Amino acid sequence: MSGTKPDILWAPHQVDRFVVCDSELSLYHVESTVNSELKAGSLRLSEDSAATLLSINSDTPYMKCVAWYLNYDPECLLAVGQANGRVVLTSLGQDHNSKFKDLIGKEFVPKHARQCNTLAWNPLDNNWLAAGLDKHRADFSVLIWDICSKYTPDIVAMEKVRLSAGEAETTLLVTKPLYELGQNDACLSLCWLPRDQKLLLAGMHRNLAIFDLRNTSQKMFVNTKAVQGVTVDPYFHDRVASFYEGQVAIWDLRKFEKPVLTLTEQPKPLTKVAWCPTRTGLLATLTRDSNIIRLYDMQHTPTPIGDETEPTIIERSVQPCDNYIASFAWHPTSQNRMIVVTPNRTMSDFTVFERISLAWSPITSLMWACGRHLYECAEEESDNSLEKDIATKMRLRALSRYGLDTEQVWRNHILAGNEDPQLKSLWYTLHFMKQYTEDMDQKSPGNKGSLVYAGIKSIVKSSLGMVESSKHNWSGLDKQTDIQNLNEERILALQLCGWIKKGTDVDVGPFLNSLVQEGEWERAAAVALFNLDIRQAIQILNEGASSDKGDLNLNVVAMALSGYTDEKNSLWREMCSTLRLQLNNPYLCVMFAFLTSEAGSYDGVLYENKVAVRDRVAFACKFLSDSQLNRYIEKLTNEMKEAGNLEGILLTGLTKDGVDLMESYVDRTGDVQTASYCMLQGSPLDVLKDERVQYWIENYRNLLDAWRFWHKRAEFDIHRSKLDPSSKPLAQVFVSCNFCGKSISYSCSSVPHQGRGFSQYGVSGSPTKSKVTSCPGCRKPLPRCALCLINMGTPVSSCPGGSKSDEKVDLSKDKKLAQFNNWFTWCHNCRHGGHAGHMLSWFRDHAECPVSACTCKCMQLDTTGNLVPAETVQP
Amino acid sequence: MFVARSIAADHKDLIHDVSFDFHGRRMATCSSDQSVKVLVSGVGIPWLVVGSVWAGPWLSCSQRLLVGLVGIFFFFPFLRRRAPDVMNLSQWSLQHEVSCKLSCSCISWNPSSSRAHSPMIAVGSDDSSPNAMAKVQIFEYNENTRKYAKAETLMTVTDPVHDIAFAPNLGRSFHILAIATKDVRIFTLKPVRKELTSSGGPTKFEIHIVAQFDNHNSQVWRVSWNITGTVLASSGDDGCVRLWKANYMDNWKCTGILKGNGSPVNGNSQQGNSTPSLGSTIPNLQNSLNGSSASR
């Protein structure tokens, strides 16, 4: 090592130690700092590791290369190659009683002094050390030393004279190498081949050579410039990397004529190339003056026969620190870990992460593979429900039968978890729509029923003739305000908004009571005020303030309200119009807006976005003239459509506008479940025909399938077919007679007056106990059940031992369900079959077909038969 | 909040890919140890290895193996092939060939099954040659010519693309495309209504970039969407898995960071929240992106 460029080496056995060498050798100890503080004097290597300096050795000047003794030794024995070609064994330990004591200080001296370029310990015979030297005339450049060899005294004597060194040192000089190779050449890099103890690969001047120590006169070589840094892949012993300037060559020793691969050339010369010892096919390279380590991931098995396809190599780069990197070293055992050192000897320890591959399971958990390990990650249950992903929400809602309450439609928002105000609004709207459609149909059938589902926008538009306003007195105040006379359409709109109940009565009393009961004091007070009853509004606020959950500040608001004065320039009016904006509750805010507004201009109420759409619309219906109302509703509808706000369904109804609105809701949330169920609430058919609606429905069904919620999907399909009979699936399987080939059901349906209904054959499970056991077409008997040997068409006798089964329980629960046990069933492969109940109980214990001598594994062929619906095991 | 736990797959070497079956009940992994393993799980039952197949050395050649599980499992060596006879899966014939003029690194089908849009493929490239500028192309099946033709090129993506994924589309009016390059990018592709474009030609799209995150601070390798296309997971060279989700305002943000070994990233769970929302600041690159430049 020339003084400026430090190198770094991990200890091969004591994996928490490494050595940094430049002009001296420094041994460090690495500690994890995950659970402890950084100790004084230690250097931080990474977020969770630090190094402590253990010892420094400066006995060996002019270091050119260092190699760590491969045997386990507590003394940290190192071989150091020097500028004069000598190789010195030195140690960084303090314990001088070790068994390697004799080795320390030994020197191996070449005949002629020249630079030692490289050192390599033999991995099989740990006492062999190969040294590669520069060229010196016809001398050998590769010397293999046996570190245990005894010195030859006569040479020592000679050395003593020449070097006049101290007694102790001279006794340790070795000058006779075990082997001498590479005559008349220079050696730049060396590595032992793990295939055989006696094979040595050397990067010589302008060629790569393989020396076989069993026959030193011969060598295998190939001419190339890429002779530096030869290194063997620890996972494929025939794969070797070497480099020259900016280019790395990969060799296959079985096909040594030319490199099998050259990696993309770097603009700057390379300084180090190393295979990762803990992972296959990962090569790290470093160029001069760079802070990047380039990694080449070669995930292909090398083949000696030339294959045309170019192997895929993934190139990556990592930047362990901001400074230029002088050298790096892979950790011998920790996965993909390396340590780098910069020219000013700052070090950093880091791990090259594997590329993580990811996959989402349909059941909202994420799986990923990192290195050799697999991890599964799931959303935590106890989480704030608002933060949950829609996939999780939809799954939970599907389990709670969300959307399927067709009687108390509003209850669906409770099934959805009662947490989303938009869903609440939506289901109340649908509830009212259903209620008033029925109401209308009763009064005058076929008249306006469909109009209710068309939403307030259409209802208001349909209103004929002008609505006139008239003065109404405030109760408890000496004041009059213009209120529109409510015609039929406006009453219907108010009913849909929920302000007034069924019938012609326009009293908001019941609505106020329900609001008060739910603790919505501010809203109740606002509605009371909009119905010109300031006294009741104040009363409600007082009530709110005195209740447990209520806010005491409501009293203050009530007080402010009671100070109402009609005078235009009063202080009250001035203060209220400025201070109302500071009120947090939107309903309190609009109350004062209403009171301070000029007659006929209610923008402060109508455009307060935090007030529920239904309240604003009801307010508009009461106070706006026809043209104003139409304009307002139009504007609000577009706003809702743009935002995908489900409250807007009140305005659009289940029309094309409603589908547009729902589309932007789906765009925003991905909630196709709500979209599907909403559109299936009594929508007229042309909306269901909309491509988008069909697409949501199909996707929701797919989703249920993917979750294995087959029962839920069946329920959904039944629900759907009620509204959209065209969606009913056609019969997919027919049972045909063995003799005449006619479908036994087909023959009945085609000639209805001749045969009996299909259901009577027990196929569709009619409760009537049918005894028909022959084909209606040709009167030949139907086939026999393979198990009970009775002709099909007869009801099943009780299944022995099947009483505990799930099917049994299901059937006994709901007798109305088809008697599935009586159904025909057969294997598509061997064509054997019988009563479904018998077959199920048979295959619970058997793998093979019940027909003797038939070895068909019927049930295993049925890929879906083995799947268990997920709902049955869900809570 | 997401929590991770380890699963014993017992692979001897690097796992390259994981894939689920349609129901999420079975999972296949492929690894450099030259085996494909199948794991099965039930509700409350941990994942268990039920099958292992030595797949031969060629397996490790394929960085991204698509494993189909249909009772038995078989491999789709080429994406654009279709078995003419469902009962004989050993014979596949080439149906289409699409020339991308770039070296391709990743491909994604648009999973949307709507009849309203024709089949689409997005192709990403890691071509490093200087004349390869745009790295993402979108091909669309044309009913008239019965061929896949290039519909769009994402001009802004000029860095090598490592992975690409269309989000499952359950009913949105637009497509979402996630791209793993030197950062995570999310694009939306809204088909311009057919009436507005000349019929017959490829569909035009309004392309918006809705999010761009460099939180990985390194190359991003993989992106994957959940079943509803609402949560995106990405993994990068920083060894972390990050989860992204859009809020009601359509601002995407990081909702979870986990280290590759499953442990949570210490003390910076809020880091993801402080740096996101690039989505709102770079909304309208589409004019330069999109040749059609249909205005909203």
pLDDT digits (tens, 9 = 90+) for B10-49: 888 788 888 888 888 888 888 877 778 888 877 677 788 8
Asked which of A219-228, A586-595, A866-875, B135-144 is least confident by mean pLDDT, the reply is A866-875
CB-hemisphere CA count at 13 Å for A636?
31
Confidence check: pLDDT of A817 > 70: no
Q: Residue A249 — very low, low, confident or very high, per pLDDT cuts 50/70/90?
A: very high
Q: A719-736, pLDDT tens digit by residue?
A: 888 887 777 777 777 777
How far is it, in rounded angstroms, from Cα A777 to Cα A686?
41
Would you give the end-to-end CA distance of chain B in angstroms?
A: 37
Q: Does B292 touch chain A (CB under 8 A)?
A: no
CB contact under 8 A, B239 and A368: no
Q: Is the pLDDT of residue A173 over 50?
A: yes
Flag whether residue B6 sits within 8 Å of chain A, measured between CB atoms.
yes
Query: Is the pLDDT at A165 greater than 60, yes or no?
Result: no
Q: With contact defined as beta carbons under 8 Å apart, do A192 and A67 qualify? A: no
A142-156, A619-633, B160-174: least confident range = A142-156
Comparison of pLDDT for A869 and A809, the residue scoring more: A869
Most confident of A341-345, A685-689, A805-809: A341-345
Q: Which domains does chain B have, with CATH numbers?
A: 100-292 (2.130.10.10)
Chain mean pLDDT for chain A: 80
What is the band of A202 on the pLDDT scale with cuts at 50, 70, 90?
very high
Binned at pLDDT 50, 70 and 90, residue A770 comes out as very low
Determine, for residues B15 and A389 on separate chains, whether the beta-carbon distance falls below 8 Å. no
Task: Enumerate the residues of chain B whose CB falls inside 8 A of the CB of residue A46.
Answer: none
DSSP state of A475: B
How close B47 comes to chain A (CA, Å)?
Answer: 10
- Residue A370: list chain B partners with CB under 8 A: 15, 239, 260-261
* pLDDT score of A186: 92
The phi and psi torsions of A19 (rounded to 5 degrees) equal: -125, 140
pLDDT at position B264:
75
Q: Which residue has the higher pLDDT, A444 or A712?
A: A712
Inter-CA distances, A866 with A361, A847, B42, B50, B159, Å? 20, 12, 12, 15, 47
Parallel/antiparallel/unpaired status of strands A107-108 and A173-174:
parallel
pLDDT bracket for residue A801 (50, 70, 90)? very low
Average pLDDT, chain B: 73
Interface contacts (A, B; CB < 8 Å)? 238
- pLDDT band, residue A132 (cuts 50/70/90): very high
Residues 656-675 of A with CB under 8 A from B: 663-664, 666-670, 672, 675
Residue A189 scores a pLDDT above 90? yes
The mean pLDDT value for B143-156 works out to 85
Contacting residues for A61 by C-beta, under 8 A, at least 6 apart: A23, A82
Q: What is the percentage of chain A residues whose pLDDT exceeds 70?
A: 83
Chain mean position to CA B93: 25
pLDDT of B69 above 50: no
Cβ within 8 Å of A, B 34-93 = 42-44, 47, 57, 60-61, 63-64, 70-71
Q: Which residue of B has its CA nearest to A701?
A: B170
Whether the pLDDT of residue A848 is over 80: the answer is yes
pLDDT at A794: 65
B280: which 2 tokens? Answer: 């709102």
Q: What is the pLDDT of residue A3?
A: 47
Interchain contact, A708 vs B260, CB within 8 Å: no
Lowest-pLDDT range of A61-65, A390-394, B212-216, B291-295: B291-295
pTM of the full predicted structure? Answer: 0.79
Is the pLDDT at A493 greater than 90, yes or no? Answer: no
Contacts 24+ apart (CB under 8 A), A799-805: A799/A837, A799/A838, A799/A840, A799/A841, A800/A841, A801/A841, A802/A837, A802/A840, A802/A841, A802/A844, A805/A840, A805/A841, A805/A844
Which residues numbered 205-224 in B keep a CB inside 8 Å of some CB on A?
A: 218-219, 221-224
Quote the CA–CA distance of A455 and A432 in Å, as a whole number: 11
β-bridge mates for residue A475, sequence order:
A533
Higher pLDDT, A643 or A776: A643
Per-position b or e across A763-774, b if 16+ CB within 10 A of its CB: bebbeeebebbb
Give yes or no for residue A14 having a pLDDT over 90.
Answer: no
The reply to whether residue B14 touches residue A299, judged by beta carbons under 8 angstroms, is yes
Helix axes A613-623, A455-462, angle to 10 degrees: 10
Higher-scoring residue by pLDDT: A13, A764: A13
